[in-house]
Structure 1
Amino acid sequence: GSTFDLHWMIRCGVHINLISDLTRIADECIEIKPAVLLAVPRVWNKFYDRVNAQFASATGLKKVFVNKAQKASAKRIAKAGVQCDAVAPTKFFDKLWDKLVWSKVRARFGGNIRFCMSGAAALSPDVAAFIQQVGFSCYEGYGLTETSPLVSANGWSGPGTSKLNTVGRVANGVTVTIDTDAWDDPARPDEGEIIVTGPNVMMGYWNNEEATKEVIIEPGTFRTGDLGKLTDGYLSITGRVKSQFKLENGKYVSPSSLEETVKLNPLIEQCVLDGRNMLNTYLVAHPNMSALRAALKKAGIAASDDDAAVCADPKVREFLLNDLKKNNMVAPDWKGYEVARTLILDSEEWTTDNEMLTPSMKVKLRNLLAKHDDEIQAIA
């Protein structure tokens, strides 16, 4: 990531700012007034949740303005027929609703953003579409340290060429092929492991010939370990080869994209979907405790003052699982056999300090499942 985030920007004379704390991103953006904002999906998910929560609580004229702004922007974007790219208002009332609603949302990020980029994990199409409604161009990209890093991205090939739910077209000079032998699901025969070929591919891992042989097929060709598919030249990431699992009924589950839909629920901060060699899937999640307590109070469910006790309460788990089934684990994103039948709640946030996350903020699945092994083994 340093190739783009650091070296390329310095070469181009870009002034780089690092946000000190994700909880202060709005305050610091107002001070910095960034032209480009690079963030992971978790940041965009929180933005989506907070703005929509404020819209939902609006009353009177504010509610009218919000409804008008949402309808006007949706109509304008649909008419333009573009995805990911911001579409500026041109008509009088469209400009009015934009000024009254969307401009105030943009102002929270300094009011100077030209475009945004999201990476490190899949961005929900709902969140991406909402960012476009706000008036930001938001592009997803894909790359790895081993590929220097860019493989593909939306936005680079010009206006009107980006597609939601993809990481864009493959970069110039790079070739991507899909090894379908790495994915055995007959329901999705076009998916497989992403193989990257190009001058951007590393020579190998330093002093680790064995690891190099596992991923370098031949000089310049690299096995990414990621699952994906190519459709009309656009690359989509669908999961990780190692994270896919098979249920007892023989059905394959690729959890990555499914987990992202769960994270859109304002009551969920972090989650993992698993169920390998089991009859049904289950979900392990770290909830947003303040939001969960508020939801429980509204539902008339008593909650302990102790976070661990709340997370262990069967009534709380049932309440939250039902909420997820109703609002997040739904078709067409979820198939029936993928829907979790059991929810395990973890009151402790997953961080690098407690060995639940890697330095790149990915969940250490083995550590997490070991922590909750007793509860997992108890699943019927």
Structure 2
Amino acid sequence: MEYKNASVSVDGNSVAEAYRQRQEATPTATAHLVKIDGSYRPVSWETIHREVLGIAKALFSMGLQKGDRVAIMAHTEPRWNIVDMALLSCGFVTVPIYPSSTPEDGAFVLENSEAKLLFVGDPKLLAKANEIFAAAGTTLPLATLKDEAISSGALKATGYKEWAFQAVDDETKKQWRALSETVEAEDLASIVYTSGTTGQPKGAMLTQYNFASALRMVVDEIDLTADDTLMTFLPLSHILGRVDSLAPIFAGIIGAYAEDINSISRNIQEVRPTILISVPRIYEKIYDKIRTDVDAGSPIKQNIFAWAQTVGRQVVRMRSEKEPIPLALQLKFQVADRLVFSKIRAKLGGRIKLTASGGAPLAQDLCEFFHACGIKILEGYGLTETLGPIFVNRPDNYRFGTVGIPIGTAQVKIAEDGEILLKGPQVFKGYFRNPEATEAAFTTDGWFRTGDIGEIDTRGFLKITDRKKELIVTAGGKNIAPQKLENLLKLSPFISNAMAFGDKKKYITALVTLNEENVLGWAKSHELSNVSFEELVNHPKLRELLDGELAEANKKLASFESVKKIAILPNDWTPESGELTPSLKVKRKVVVSRYQDYLNRMY
């Protein structure tokens, strides 16, 4: 695959300024790698800019003014990013809507933001727009990311080609530049509505400077260069995916777009990226696949893998603590790398130099495993309100079990009750049209209340204990962080999702859902191939298997926090089914409400 690297970084104080610098400095460099007719092809910055100008011309003709809000409801794809750049470069305000949003939430976002236009990704999402408009009692002009116009009932969305591929004259170019140059650092760039587990969404107001500061810091702190290719697959409605998609502007890296969430493994092989940014669930799935392959192999293969893991974990723990590694252990690690770890790297394209994880806590065991493979997962921490990562481990300065140290000029302090408080140029300005929530989000002296509990160690690394409102307090008065327990359970290749429970109870229990593919594979190898998945859920042999997985997880927990019982649920949780947020976090109140009978039977 041939493409031209940008080789120039930019440092504008707004996304609009940085975008102008990028398209002027490196117009022929590759911006995107896009799957077209079965193969990945490079798309240059000048090609993208022609589409940006076409979209801008259409927006001008509609009479949109700087500061007007435009909503996007689409799955991750290059055109989402191109529309976003068109909006940001002109001073319009991007309002993402999750494709999995309920009609009521979508209606609230459109009404609260007073959006003037809605982009939809495809016909299914146009049909959803119909439901949203019905809930809102109003309609908006529509455009689609599909080439041609699409319809649903009385709704029609203008095709992408009609706008982005239209002829652009010098007058439009001058109008775009004149408007772009009026965009200031403190202008509103995006309203990102939090996907919280309860209540109405809150619209975090993020400025052009918030974006520029956060992106420049990320580029500097994790050493992104123009030689890097970043695989993009996270939802662009989520702030981590948004940072991912806009990083090429500032770093000159190439953004390669996965076809969809189910094609990631194949697309990684095709693109051979150097960087991945993801949420923990994706890394858990990769690890599950590796373990399943090993478990299906010979006893010799399983023993070699177990030995390599032991050696690898010893080495990476010593590296993390900056301890010298004995020569004998170095030699063992070289053998482990040749026999096991190099093959895992090859399956992930062979070029990955680092990966980043955020959006939810990452199990330490998982992080250590990938480091041993030579794939550094740099766990970070941030929220929508901090425009993504505000803490991150560095490639040469990391500590397992932590989310790293502050990036750039960000400041942190721990409140008396353990809550993490933050300040910095990437911290949002407040919630849109919600002064009460804004006031509650900040201390009287201007520190942002994260709602998370944490502690800073002697080396300055931040360790997250849990969400302030999600701590389990047992009947015995013990405070327990549920995500720690859940992450250990999800290390099992047979468990897809888990939720710990036990507030005001004598002991901890958990609800678990199954990885159907791996469970069926196990059943086939244990003379249960004729048993349906629905029957397996209640089969005593599966219960015995999962009890063993539970025992393994409990070995890493103190006695008071160990999980005494689990209930196996018949269906997995997804954002569409309502138990998970779009960033794959468990909606605890929803789960407790739906599965109260299962919980009651464990006490």
Task: Pick one of 265, 276, 280 that aligns with 2:507.
Answer: 280
Distance in 2 between the 1:122 and 1:81 partners?
Answer: 18
1:260 CA drift (Å): 0.5
2:562 alignment counterpart? 339
Is the Cα–Cα contact under 8 Å of residues 381 and 392 in structure 2 kept in the other structure? yes
Task: Pick one of 105, 110, 113 that aligns with 2:344.
Answer: 105
Distance in 1 between the 2:300 and 2:411 partners?
Answer: 53
Helix, strand or coil: the match of 2:359? coil
1:174 CA drift (Å): 1.4
Between stretches 72-81 and 105-114, larger displacement belongs to: 72-81
1:142 CA drift (Å): 0.8
Which structure is larger by alpha-carbon Rg, 1 or 2?
A: 2
Task: Pick one of 190, 200, 207 that aligns with 2:433.
Answer: 207
Q: Write out aligned runs for 1:79-90 (5 A).
A: none
Q: Write out aligned runs for 1:207-286 (5 A).
A: 207-218=433-444, 220-232=446-458, 233-286=460-513
Q: In the alignment, residue 237 of structure 1 is paired with which amino acid? A: I
Q: In the alignment, residue 349 of structure 1 is paired with which amino acid? A: D
1:246 CA drift (Å): 1.5
The Cα offsets for residues 22-56 of structure 1, whole Å up to 9 and x where unpaired, read as 44322110111111011221221222232234344
- Summarize the Cα distance change of 1:61–1:305 in structure 2 as closer, same or farther, 3 Å threshold: closer
1:328 CA drift (Å): 0.8
Q: CA RMSD in A?
A: 3.1
Helix, strand or coil: the match of 1:212? helix
* 1:48 matched to 2:275: no
1:372 alignment counterpart? 595
2:555 alignment counterpart? 330
Distance in 2 between the 1:194 and 1:180 partners?
Answer: 10
* 1:33 matched to 2:259: no
- Summarize the Cα distance change of 1:317–1:107 in structure 2 as closer, same or farther, 3 Å threshold: closer
2:410 alignment counterpart? 174
Distance in 2 between the 1:58 and 1:280 partners?
Answer: 38
Structure 1: any 5+ residue segments left out of the alignment?
A: 84-90, 182-191
Q: In the alignment, residue 325 of structure 1 is paired with which amino acid? A: L
Distance in 1 between the 2:300 and 2:520 partners?
Answer: 30
Q: In the alignment, residue 438 of structure 2 is paired with which amino acid? A: T
1:248 CA drift (Å): 1.7
Distance in 1 between the 2:571 and 2:422 partners?
Answer: 38
1:86 alignment counterpart? none
* 1:163 matched to 2:399: yes
- Summarize the Cα distance change of 1:302–1:326 in structure 2 as closer, same or farther, 3 Å threshold: farther
Helix, strand or coil: the match of 1:146? helix
Q: In the alignment, residue 222 of structure 1 is paired with which amino acid? A: F
Distance in 2 between the 1:294 and 1:238 partners?
Answer: 36
Identity level (%)? 28
Is the Cα–Cα contact under 8 Å of residues 317 and 344 in structure 1 kept in the other structure? no
Distance in 2 between the 1:367 and 1:78 partners?
Answer: 38
**TM-score in terms of structure 1 length:** 0.83
* 1:4 matched to 2:243: yes
- Summarize the Cα distance change of 1:376–1:314 in structure 2 as closer, same or farther, 3 Å threshold: farther
2:26 alignment counterpart? none
Q: In the alignment, residue 489 of structure 2 is paired with which amino acid? A: V
Is the Cα–Cα contact under 8 Å of residues 520 and 533 in structure 2 kept in the other structure? no
The Cα offsets for residues 242-270 of structure 1, whole Å up to 9 and x where unpaired, read as 11121222222210121111100111000
* 1:154 matched to 2:400: no
- Summarize the Cα distance change of 1:294–1:53 in structure 2 as closer, same or farther, 3 Å threshold: closer
Distance in 2 between the 1:98 and 1:294 partners?
Answer: 28
Is the Cα–Cα contact under 8 Å of residues 380 and 393 in structure 2 kept in the other structure? yes
Q: In the alignment, residue 315 of structure 1 is paired with which amino acid? A: P
The Cα offsets for residues 202-245 of structure 1, whole Å up to 9 and x where unpaired, read as 12100011111221114641111112111020001121111112
The Cα offsets for residues 169-224 of structure 1, whole Å up to 9 and x where unpaired, read as 1123111111242xxxxxxxxxx211112232212100011111221114641111
Give the aligned length. Answer: 357
- Summarize the Cα distance change of 1:241–1:108 in structure 2 as closer, same or farther, 3 Å threshold: same
Distance in 2 between the 1:73 and 1:325 partners?
Answer: 24
Is the Cα–Cα contact under 8 Å of residues 473 and 503 in structure 2 kept in the other structure? yes
- Summarize the Cα distance change of 1:298–1:68 in structure 2 as closer, same or farther, 3 Å threshold: closer
The Cα offsets for residues 344-378 of structure 1, whole Å up to 9 and x where unpaired, read as 22222211211111122211111111111223234
The Cα offsets for residues 129-153 of structure 1, whole Å up to 9 and x where unpaired, read as 1111111122111111111233210
- Summarize the Cα distance change of 1:330–1:71 in structure 2 as closer, same or farther, 3 Å threshold: closer
- Summarize the Cα distance change of 1:203–1:112 in structure 2 as closer, same or farther, 3 Å threshold: same
Structure 2: any 5+ residue segments left out of the alignment?
A: 1-238, 323-329
1:356 alignment counterpart? 579
Is the Cα–Cα contact under 8 Å of residues 34 and 113 in structure 1 kept in the other structure? yes
Is the Cα–Cα contact under 8 Å of residues 419 and 449 in structure 2 kept in the other structure? yes
**TM-score in terms of structure 2 length:** 0.54
- Summarize the Cα distance change of 1:268–1:111 in structure 2 as closer, same or farther, 3 Å threshold: same
- Summarize the Cα distance change of 1:27–1:327 in structure 2 as closer, same or farther, 3 Å threshold: same
Between stretches 66-75 and 277-286, larger displacement belongs to: 66-75
2:519 alignment counterpart? 292
Q: In the alignment, residue 339 of structure 1 is paired with which amino acid? A: S
Task: Pick one of 117, 133, 140 that aligns with 2:372.
Answer: 133
- Summarize the Cα distance change of 1:98–1:295 in structure 2 as closer, same or farther, 3 Å threshold: closer
Distance in 1 between the 2:512 and 2:399 partners?
Answer: 30
Helix, strand or coil: the match of 1:229? strand
* 1:197 matched to 2:431: no
Is the Cα–Cα contact under 8 Å of residues 273 and 282 in structure 1 kept in the other structure? yes
Between stretches 227-236 and 320-329, larger displacement belongs to: 320-329
Distance in 2 between the 1:146 and 1:359 partners?
Answer: 16
Helix, strand or coil: the match of 1:358? coil
- Summarize the Cα distance change of 1:281–1:99 in structure 2 as closer, same or farther, 3 Å threshold: closer
1:88 alignment counterpart? none
Distance in 1 between the 2:391 and 2:291 partners?
Answer: 30
- Summarize the Cα distance change of 1:300–1:253 in structure 2 as closer, same or farther, 3 Å threshold: farther
Q: In the alignment, residue 466 of structure 2 is paired with which amino acid? A: G
